[in-house]
């Protein structure tokens, strides 16, 4: 068990560019979550997958955001036409299937949009 | 529906106790507690599932009052390493997991 990993750890981009982040969950975990966290706030839910199926997507998530988990293992989060307001820490977490399962977080990808 | 946490911030001297509260306007299925240090990812502390359940390890424990739709995290004889932001996460019946806004705890020597 190597834990949840995320890549890259930091990303600086110019407004209008597209960015893609990757998350590798703990291997036996079926669920994978994406959160966004800004300074001084708690993590804000974006979306989650059970295996390869995207089961829930936050209403706060604009159409510029898309996530995939094609083989039920790693996941990617893409942001198109980035805006300065997208600057945040993007956290990935994974868990076993079921309610009240512990979510284990990755180190996050810090995005800065200039 | 985001849970409410109180206090927003607390400053302690090493060895003092603290209580952090988390409450929801909706019926809770479970409450999770996490601690996050600056620049790091949240780290899991514990989950509480049943009304009245209490859990703890070391000198950090928590209770869950299902009827009052709230949970409290107790930190006793605080250590410098306890400093960080504590988040509760709640699962309501039929709704997604939601984090509270956090309580910033600073333990001073």
pLDDT at B50: 67
User: Which positions ≥6 away from A67 have C-beta within 8 Å?
Assistant: A34, A46, A47, A49, A54, A57, A75, A76, A77, A78
**Chain B: nearest CA to A69, how far in angstroms?**
19
Higher pLDDT, B98 or B103: B103
DSSP A25-50: --TT--EEEEEEE-TTS--EEEEEEE
How many whole angstroms from its chain centre is CA A99?
Answer: 20
User: Which positions ≥6 away from A70 have C-beta within 8 Å?
Assistant: A52
Check the CA dihedral A69-A70-A73-A79 and report its sign.
negative
A45 to B96: CB separation less than 8 angstroms, yes or no: yes
pLDDT at A62: 83
- β-pair partners for A57: A47
pLDDT at B46: 87
Residue B94: pLDDT above 80? no
pLDDT at B29: 83
pLDDT at A1: 53
Tokens of B73: 């995290």
pLDDT at A58: 85
- Phi and psi dihedrals of A24, rounded to 5? -110, 115
Pairing of strands A109-113, A10-13: parallel
Write the pLDDT tens digit of every residue in B25-83.
888 888 999 999 988 889 989 888 866 677 777 789 999 988 888 999 999 999 999 99
Name chain B contacts of A103, Cβ cutoff 8 Å: 32, 44, 89, 97
pLDDT at A60: 73
Per-residue pLDDT of chain A (114 residues; tens, 9 = 90+): 579 999 999 999 999 999 999 999 999 899 999 999 998 888 998 999 999 999 888 877 789 999 999 988 999 999 999 999 999 999 999 998 876 678 899 999 999 999
Nearest partner of A68 among A59, A77, A79, A60, judged by Cα? A77
Q: Which of A1, A37, A43, A57 to mutate to test the interface with B (most CBs of B within 10 A)?
A: A43
pLDDT at B92: 79
Tokens of B108: 């001073």
Q: Which residue is closest to B87 within chain A, CA to CA? A: A42
- β-pair partners for A92: A34
Tokens of A93: 């977490």
Q: Which residue is closest to B94 within chain A, CA to CA? A: A99
Q: Which of B41, B48, B85, B98 to mutate to test the interface with A (most CBs of A within 10 A)?
A: B41
Does the CB of B99 have a partner CB in chain A at under 8 Å? yes
A105 to B47: CB separation less than 8 angstroms, yes or no: no
Tokens of A36: 């966004």
A48 to B96: CB separation less than 8 angstroms, yes or no: yes
A91 to B41: CB separation less than 8 angstroms, yes or no: yes
Block residue for tokens 């989650």: A48
Nearest partner of A67 among A6, A13, A22, A37, judged by Cα? A22
Angstrom distance (rounded) from CA B59 to CA B94 = 33
B25-to-A82, B32, B63, B94 alpha-carbon distances in Å? 35, 16, 17, 14
Residue B1: pLDDT above 90? no
pLDDT at A99: 66
């Amino acid at each position: 068990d190597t834990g949840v990993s995320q890549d890259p750890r930091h990303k600086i981009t110019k407004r209008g560019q597209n960015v893609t982040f990757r998350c590798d969950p703990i291997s036996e975990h079926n669920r994978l979550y994406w959160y966004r966290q800004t300074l001084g706030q708690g993590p804000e839910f974006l979306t989650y997958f059970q295996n390869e199926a995207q089961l829930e997507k936050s209403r706060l998530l604009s159409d510029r955001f898309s996530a995939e988990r094609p083989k039920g293992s790693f996941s990617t989060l893409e942001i198109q036409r980035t805006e300065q307001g997208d600057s945040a820490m993007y956290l990935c977490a994974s868990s076993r299937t079921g309610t009240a399962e512990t979510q284990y977080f990755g180190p996050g990808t810090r995005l800065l949009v200039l | 529906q985001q849970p409410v946490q109180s206090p927003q911030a607390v400053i302690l001297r090493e060895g003092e106790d603290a209580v952090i509260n988390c409450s929801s306007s909706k019926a809770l299925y479970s409450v999770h507690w996490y601690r996050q240090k600056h620049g790091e990812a949240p780290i899991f502390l514990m989950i509480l599932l049943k009304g009245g359940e209490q859990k703890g390890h070391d000198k950090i424990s928590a209770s869950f009052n299902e009827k009052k739709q709230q949970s409290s995290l107790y930190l006793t004889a605080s250590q410098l390493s306890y400093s960080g932001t504590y988040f509760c996460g709640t699962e309501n019946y039929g709704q997604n997991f939601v984090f509270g806004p956090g309580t910033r705890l600073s333990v001073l020597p």
